Amino acid sequence: MEKEFNQLKLQFKGAWIGEGFAKFPTIEDTGYREEWIFKPDEDKSAIHYEQKTWYNNKTADNGKTVFWDTGFILLKGDKILLVSAQSGGRLESYELKEFNGHRLIFDCTVISNDDKTIRSQRIIHITGNRLDYELNMSTKQADVFQNHLKASLTRVE
């Protein structure tokens, strides 16, 4: 897995900016602007990331923060993990379940400080300077596993 992780360091490195769309039965659909910054540690099997989104719609919330997340993508033994701490207090740990060189599927294994989320999954597809991202989830209020977020970002040189 070390070879794969070193590949991820190169693929993720840098700042990514783009737009996405959020929908779920418990929220009002909305567009958003998104920025991810990935900083690989050259000495450790770790990539620090920061993800932030802002409303991009025709409401009074336009331009305000929707979501803020920070964490690490880590190589731990024979597993690649994504560990997330979110501005709302939720903590998540994901395990990489599928990787084909460009498409990564992370399934959530631990959710803390959130009594409503049942299941969560992040899908990231990187091709060159384009990153496509999806978040799928189910909650106690909407227990059908479904898409919540979808975004496309471009690496900023």
Instruction: Tell me how many degrees the CA angle 18-19-20 measures, rounded to the nearest 5.
Output: 135
**Beta pairing partners, 135:** 122, 149
Instruction: Tell me how many degrees the CA angle 136-152-25 measures, rounded to the nearest 5.
Output: 35
How far is residue 137's CA from residue 49's CA, in Å, rounded to a whole number?
Answer: 21
Q: How far is CA 95 from CA 77, 86, 125, in A?
A: 12, 17, 16
pLDDT at 157: 77
Check: CB of residue 24 under 8 Å from CB of residue 146. Answer: yes
Instruction: Tell me how many degrees the CA angle 32-62-51 measures, rounded to the nearest 5.
Output: 40
- The domain made up of 2-156 has a fold known as Lipocalin (2.40.128)
Structure tokens at 15: 């700042």
How far is residue 79's CA from residue 39's CA, in Å, rounded to a whole number?
Answer: 20
Q: Find the DSSP H helices in the chain.
A: 2-12
**Beta pairing partners, 74:** 46, 81
> What's this model's pTM, rounded to 2 decimal places?
0.94
Local mean pLDDT, 10-residue blocks, the chain (157 residues) = 93 98 94 98 97 96 96 97 96 96 96 93 97 96 94 95
What values do phi and psi take at 6, rounded to 5? -65, -35
How far is residue 62's CA from residue 56's CA, in Å, rounded to a whole number?
Answer: 5
Domain ranges (residues) in the chain: 2-156
pLDDT at 88: 92
Structure tokens at 96: 């990489």
